[in-house]
Amino acid sequence: MSFDENALLKKLDELFEADRFAEIESEIRKLPREELSLELRFRLASALNNQKKLEEEIAELKEIEPLCSTPAEQARFWYSTGYVHYVSDHEMAAFHCFKKAQELDPEDTANLDLNEVIEECDGYISRDLMELKGFGRAAVEAIHARCEEVAEKDRTELSEPEFTVYLGFLSGIRVPIGLEKPLLFDDVMKKVSDEEKPVLRDFLQEYFGISNAEDFRNFYHRNMKYDLYGMAGDVLAYLDGKPRFPVEELNREGREFFVDCAEYLNAIRECMTSSTVLGWDISEKVGTARLCYACDLLSESDFIGCMSALAQTARDKFASFEEYMISTIMGCGLFMFLDDNCGIKSAINFMNTMLPMLLSSPLAQIKWG
């Protein structure tokens, strides 16, 4: 070793106390990488975390993990991994990492104060869930007030194709990456230009894994993020003490994920209609079917059949656009929760973005069915 590690660690301690994290990173990076001890690599990961250089920290931790052999080292790895999630507002993922650290080092020989860390993390989760519940209630009240503005006799009656495209309102106003404008609702059978078709196909392939009609069918029937209704049913059955499958037989990661979803849905359960988050599934499938048809990935007969089935499902499961809008906004939140590593804050932020769009939409003025 070409340096005095003890002297360096003392200097790094002083820099840490002064919140000079960039200097800690600089001091460590001056050294030959092959000469870095595990302690210095953990110090580097910590400095990166405190600067929110999370991608660099994740890369560092991936190299650190196989070097950890003692309970203290393994606990420190999971503790550091937990803090990557923690600063990203993924408290549930962080909580599981901190618990793993505690299990690996129950005597806390690494001096991580894990009991305190876990208690603090659990407190943040509880506060986020309370905020989620409050937002859910406010969203339901806002949708109810919006729908009450229009008397039933004054609502616009649409043809079935027109009604169906409005079920996909949120996806209909979204601009696919690479295109200049959304499909909107003036033409049910709208196609994009020949120049735009390959761009739209690239978008569908990258974001939905769809490059042909068979891919669309797989997306329609099997993509969990766009078939949330079934998953929500499994979770709610579990919460009712009537699980549809033995949750305890899932592996640890699967159980953690399922229980996180249960905590999330339990917070907004009182806000959901009987069709829970089905509105999101229908809205996204309507929108995706339209995009696939617009660039010739779906035939006209397949497109019409799909849209008809989605409209019938909506009629069977909902009694009004008020119910549908509530189900859609709750689905928006669950989608983002799953998409962002069980991030409760991300779910609330996404719902907060989508709600004004629903409230300003024509949906409250359309006659149901």
For the segment 220-228, the average pLDDT, to the nearest whole number, is 90
Over residues 178-203, the mean pLDDT reads: 96
CA angle 275/302/202 to nearest 5° reads: 90
- Given this model, what pLDDT does residue 5 score? 87
126 Cβ partners below 8 Å, 6+ apart? none
Residue 102 has pLDDT above 90, yes or no: yes
pLDDT tier at 160, thresholds 50, 70, 90: very high
* Torsion angle of the four alpha carbons 209, 262, 276, 343, in this order, in degrees rounded to the nearest 10: -50
Q: What is the dihedral of CA 282, 288, 292, 298, to 10 degrees?
A: -20
pLDDT of 225 > 90? The answer is no
Angle at 305 between CA 303 and CA 307, to 5 degrees: 70
pLDDT value for 141: 98
What's the rounded mean pLDDT across residues 239-265? 96
Amino acid at 205: Q
What is the model's pLDDT at position 224?
Answer: 84
* pLDDT tier for residue 4 given thresholds of 50, 70 and 90: confident
Per-residue pLDDT reduced to its tens digit, 304-360: 999 999 999 999 999 999 999 999 999 999 999 999 999 999 999 999 999 999 999
Whether the predicted pLDDT of 172 surpasses 60: yes
**Mean pLDDT in the chain?**
96
What the chain holds in terms of domains, given with CATH numbers, is: 5-125 (1.25.40.10), 127-365 (no CATH)
Q: Do 239 and 266 meet the contact criterion of CB atoms below 8 Å apart? A: yes
- This prediction has a pTM of 0.92
Query: Is 156 in a helix, a strand, or coil?
Result: strand
Q: What would the pLDDT profile of 103-148 be if each residue is shown by its tens digit?
A: 999 999 999 999 999 999 999 999 999 999 999 999 999 999 999 9
Over range 259-280, report the average pLDDT. 97
> Is a pLDDT exceeding 80 seen at residue 152?
yes
| Mean pLDDT, residues 1-24 taken together | 91
Look at residue 234 and tell me whether its pLDDT is greater than 90. yes
Q: Which residues contact 91 (CB under 8 A, 6 or more apart)?
A: 85, 121, 124, 125, 128, 344
Q: Is the pLDDT of residue 1 over 70?
A: no
DSSP state of 319: S
**What percentage of the chain reaches a pLDDT higher than 90?**
95
DSSP state letters, 174-220: ---TT-SS---SS-TT----TTTHHHHHHHHHHHH--SSHHHHHHHH
The confidence score (pLDDT) of residue 101 equals 97
